[in-house]
Amino acid sequence: MSTPGHRMGVGIISAGRVGAVVGSALRAAGHAITGVAAVSDASRQRADDLLPGIPILDAPTILERSELVVLAVPDDALADLAEGLATAGVVPGGQIIAHTSGRYGIEVLKPLQEKGAITLALHPAMTFTGMSLDLKRLIGCPWAVTAAPMFLPIAKALVVEMEGEPVEIGEADRGAYHMALAHGSNHLVVLVNQVLSILDELGVEDPARLVSPLLHAALDETLRTGPAALTGPVMRGDAGTVGEHLDAIREMRRPEVDRTYRALAAGALALTDLDEPKKRTIARLLADTDPATGTDTTEDPE
């Protein structure tokens, strides 16, 4: 069995945004890419750009030719792919088979493990564009690694070869781990786009330029100090300002912003050390979702 530190033949099953970049990183680390599976025109173009000269092959052929196989398919396709490859009888055994899904640990690869494969879960904690600029982002990038104890050194060594930082995540914790990352990165996109669209409606010429220093400072301070970074009217207990914000949202007729503001303001309220009367006042404002009557439908907290 080959192990990291030795030159391996590496196959990539699918040249999506992640697969093509990971394949390129492993190639840069000295491994030989044996083939890449690419079906769509976009995937084929990605393979040409990031893995030039590498043959496009089907999955069974890639498994037969490779010592390390990277499964970089979408989360919902991973279980069926693993089962299909195991059932097809194309796994020779003794290979390293790794997937890049954040959602799963190694249990999803059990059909392949039962055929003699060494199974690893390697998830880079980064968003991918599928372009060469991602290779620079991989340098120093944390990777969530999950593997059987005896194979953890292999998983960690592969990450280190790609200049990443391995972070061990238990099998049972993968769901919560992936939720946390998706909640942070995806919903940050939603929030910032709402902010930009509001400023655009107000006629601000370059909304991104206006809020960039504020948002970067808020993120940096949060990563540095956690809840202590919270500022603003909720933290101060300024119910009048919160009420004005909600009125402004109603006037804009943006129900999606209304829902987001209320939910995140309630989350901010939970981080404060305000006295109970001030908390109750703001909680009532945030729970009042009837713009016509202003009726408070919530009960006072006990």
Residue 167, amino acid: V
pLDDT band at 94 (very low <50, low <70, confident <90, very high): confident
pLDDT at 145: 98
pLDDT at position 295 over 50: no
Residues 188-212 have a mean pLDDT of 97
pLDDT at 147: 98
pLDDT at position 292 over 70: no
Residues 68-74 have a mean pLDDT of 96
Mention the CATH class of domain 9-169: alpha beta
Q: Which residues pair with 144 in a beta bridge?
A: 123, 167
Q: What whole-number percentage of the chain has pLDDT above 70?
A: 94
**Domain spans of the chain, in order of start:** 9-169, 177-287
Structure token digits, residue 127: 């968003």
pLDDT band at 194 (very low <50, low <70, confident <90, very high): very high
DSSP 160-228: HHTT-EEEE--GGGHHHHHHHHHHHHHHHHHHHHHHHHHHHHTT-S-HHHHHHHHHHHHHHHHHHHGGG
DSSP 103-143: S--SGGGHHHHTTT-EEEEEEESS---SSTHHHHHHTT-EE
pLDDT band at 297 (very low <50, low <70, confident <90, very high): very low
pLDDT digits (tens, 9 = 90+) for 129-157: 999 999 999 999 999 999 999 999 999 99
Q: What is the mean pLDDT of the chain?
A: 92
